[in-house]
Amino acid sequence: MPEETEVYRRQGFGAGLGVQPPLGLLIVDFVNGFADPAVFGGGNIPQAIASTVPLLALVRERGWPVAHSRIVYADDDGDANVFSDKVPGMLTLKEASPASAIVDALAPQAGELVVRKNVPSAFFGTTLAPWLVQRGVRTLLVAGCVTSGCVRASVVDAMCWGFRPLVLADCVGDRAIAPHEASLFDMQQKYADVMTSAELRERLPAAA
């Protein structure tokens, strides 16, 4: 979208935030249901999960804080909301549902936060922001799915809380590629830095 890019450039959008330590990692909704095209998955989500595996290993090696999110509704649907009205299938994601469980390849370890949410943003109504603040996080690496939904909502809220979101383009996925690409463009212009995990690795020696 070269014409659109020029409009944004001319109006002053897209400034870089930089990689400012301390860093943390948020993995949004990489659960079995979103890994499965027969449930909520599809598109490039499997590739994004695969790319997140070495990213998570790097973050753990460096001892940075890691948070995961899952969508979880009450067994009796007592917390059903507008999100579940819009996407009724979300109500199948219960605490004990295999579809709501984080994929084995990215299973949380001791000391990592697991946020349960029933709206798109991992920040809304959860303890994620104070947990990150307590650990001094400034730059928040973001992986997960879907790019146009819960990832984007979480990135916008992260920016609103004063964190510097850094979206790893190869570590986020969507069930359709057009909204994935449009959302990466939008976040780069207004809310976050966007780069690949390989580009992040190249910048890390000077950044952290």
pLDDT digits (tens), the chain, 208 positions: 567 788 898 999 999 999 999 999 999 999 999 999 999 999 999 999 999 999 999 999 999 999 999 999 999 999 999 999 999 999 999 999 999 999 999 999 999 999 999 999 999 999 999 999 999 999 999 999 999 999 999 999 999 999 999 999 999 999 999 999 999 999 999 999 999 999 999 988 655 6
User: 21-207, what's its fold?
Assistant: Rossmann fold (3.40.50)
The per-residue pLDDT for 70 is 98
The per-residue pLDDT for 4 is 72
* Catalytic residue IDs: 150
pLDDT tens digits for range 65-118: 999 999 999 999 999 999 999 999 999 999 999 999 999 999 999 999 999 999
Which amino acid appears at position 142 of this protein?
V
- For 31-50, b/e burial (b = at least 16 CB within 10 A) is bbbbbbeebbbbbbbeebbe
Which amino acid appears at position 147 of this protein?
T
Give dist(CA 22, CA 45) in Å, integer. Answer: 28
Beta sheet of 66-71, edge-to-edge order: 113-117, 66-71, 23-28, 139-145, 164-173, 193-195
Give dist(CA 38, CA 51) in Å, integer. Answer: 21
What Å distances lie between residue 4 and 135, 186, 187, CA to CA? 38, 11, 14
- Cα 138–Cα 125–Cα 131 angle in degrees, nearest 5: 35
Give dist(CA 205, CA 136) in Å, integer. Answer: 19
What Å distances lie between residue 12 and 19, 94, 98, 167, 193, CA to CA? 20, 44, 45, 20, 15
The per-residue pLDDT for 1 is 56
